Structure 1
């Protein structure tokens, strides 16, 4: 008898299981900073108060990441059910220092500009319009999806993410006539199934289209944007079920930018294994 096993390549290093759970909570539940201003404000505060060095601050800013802490968050005391956050931590340099915090790790900022359309249960809508219309599901890959044989299903939306920002936006244009505007850290799926940050892309790179076609980038340009950026966080924590369709591209949800930012992800071809003797 033969079984078909679908493999997603994932590498997580440097964190215990409990630390990963806490980092996930900070990045996606109670300490989600959606703008560059807030993220850099947190890093500046952390450096001022002696939690990180100036070089660490510069590195986090260059990666669009921000420092987070165990059991402390920006949303305290108004936290969601399930949060372990027990005290407030600022996101601006001018705030007074707080002693005794324990560093946990870092989270990532990044989203779509408000005009970019995402597939919400079969409807192509800009994210803010989907939010205004009360859309409760977003279309994403299924765990069985693989390059050359994509399959989709609707996923329950846990939260919409929005924030005001002023930062560089990457405009991705393909030879096939498609285009997408995203922030620097936004996760994009290459045609080989590897998830990468938008800022690493260049003309000639090949992305995977939502229709399974290879999309060759003809141009990658950067422009400064001031306004609101948006993203979606599905309820599911399966990585394939967090790969969504946006303007005909396959792209990752906000989970790839935060709790999975340190992971390597690849949508892999199915491997066939002989398991008859098991």
Structure 2
């Protein structure tokens, strides 16, 4: 099975339901519908699911009720926590309703959205009807719709680009390094967007040059050292990287609650460096870093002539 995780709540791993039976269920649909933006709440969902899987309250199995939590994801969840300090949480579908997604506890927009992880853990199992199946895992956490992404025709707000089906993307070339940034024409493979507007946390970056960038907490940004880090891990005084490779110091980072849909896209190219795109003039990771390339999140991809064994990994 090919593993595919999500930072932006737009992709999920291959699940248990038969895809051919679904009315329509692209991966972006389920994670976006059942969005958790808080690691503690994601922990609560996962542990709630494991608890009731073990308890088998519907007497479905002599062992575990994998309609709550599938044992096949145990190693994925452990690896994600150990390597990326990220809690994977299960998502669900209802086979009686065309395999439509079912919002689980802790999701943004749900009645349980404000609960802590421990409160979610202690919820009763009846929040999940007996027929509802676990169908994959998502990861908590893109651009707000007004953020301008660089296309061959110029900078375009990502919402308008998605609505127009713009595919003439510009990204870094695969040969780029931090001191020799090269932009090349690329093509959009597909866009990702939340199915419904939800309330979520956004970080507003302001830089010394007057530049600005607004992204969700989990969005990957290129650091001044040439690595990728989640937006929430940056601090004032550090630097973002402009499209020409120059550094711009962060002077403020403000967190705000925002209601709406967030967007991202992925190029057709699959190598890591050409999945760095330009938004509001700064180098960012595409949606590929938030799915099958999540394991590469902390890999230094823009440094050159430095052996891996002498680069600190933490």
Task: Give yes or no for TM over 0.5.
Answer: yes
Distance 2:94 2:183 in 1: 34
In 2: Cα distance, 1:236 partner to 1:75 partner: 35
Change (3 A) 1:258 1:108: farther
Residue by residue, what CA displacement relative to the aligned partner does 1:128-168 show, whole Å, maximum 9, x if unpaired? 11122221132111110001111112222121111122111
Distance in 1 separating the partners of 2:305 and 2:282: 25
Superposed CA deviations along residues 38-89 of structure 1, whole A, max 9, x for unmatched, are 347987388244228xxx8xx98xx7764358xxx75989x9xxxxxxx776
Give how far 1:122 is off.
3.9
User: Who is 2:294 aligned against?
Assistant: 261
Deviation at 1:98, TM superposition (A): 5.5
1:41-60 equivalence runs, <5 A: 44=45, 47-48=48-49, 49-50=52-53, 51=69
Distance in 2 (alpha carbons) for counterparts of 1:76 and 1:266: 43
Q: Which has the larger strand fraction?
A: 1
1:272, 1:195 → 2: CA distance?
17
Query: Quick check: 2:5–2:139 contact (8 Å CA) kept in 1?
Result: no
Residue of 193, 211, 217 corresponding to 1:162: 193
Asked if 1:38 corresponds to 2:14, the answer is no
CA distance in 2, matches of 1:88, 1:189: 36
Q: Report the count of equivalent residues.
A: 236
Ranked by relative contact order (alpha carbons within 8 Å, sequence separation 6 or more), the top structure is 1
Taking a change above 3 Å as real, the CA distance of residues 123 and 37 of structure 1, as seen in their structure-2 partners, is: same
Contact 2:95 2:131 in 1 (8 A): no
- C-alpha distance in structure 2 between counterparts of 1:166 and 1:64, whole Å: 20
How far the C-alpha of 1:257 sits from its partner, in A, is 1.9
Asked if structure 1 preserves the Cα contact closer than 8 Å seen for 2:200 and 2:259, the reply is yes
Identify the residue that residue 12 of structure 2 maps to in structure 1.
26
User: Greater share of helix residues, 1 or 2?
Assistant: 2
Q: Counterparts of 1:169-208 in structure 2 under 5 Å?
A: 169-208=202-241
Residue 249 (structure 1) aligned with residue 282 (structure 2): yes
| Secondary structure at the counterpart of residue 288 of structure 2 | helix
After TM superposition, the structure 1 stretch with the greater mean CA deviation from structure 2, 258-267 or 88-97, is 88-97
Structure-1-length-normalised TM-score: 0.71
User: 1:89-238, aligned counterparts within 5 Å?
Assistant: 90-93=102-105, 94-97=127-130, 106-163=137-194, 164-238=197-271
- 1:231-258 alpha-carbon deviations (Å, 9 max, x no partner): 1122222111111100011001112122
Contact 2:95 2:133 in 1 (8 A): no
Q: CA RMSD in A?
A: 3.8
Q: Which runs of 5+ in 1 are unaligned?
A: 1-17, 80-86, 274-278
Instruction: Name the CA distance, whole Å, in 1 between partners of 2:283 and 2:2.
Output: 29
Counterpart secondary structure, 1:262: helix
Cα pair distance change 1:30/1:272, threshold 3 Å: same
Q: Deviations over 1:13-41 (max 9, x none)?
A: xxxxx443x65873599433454853479
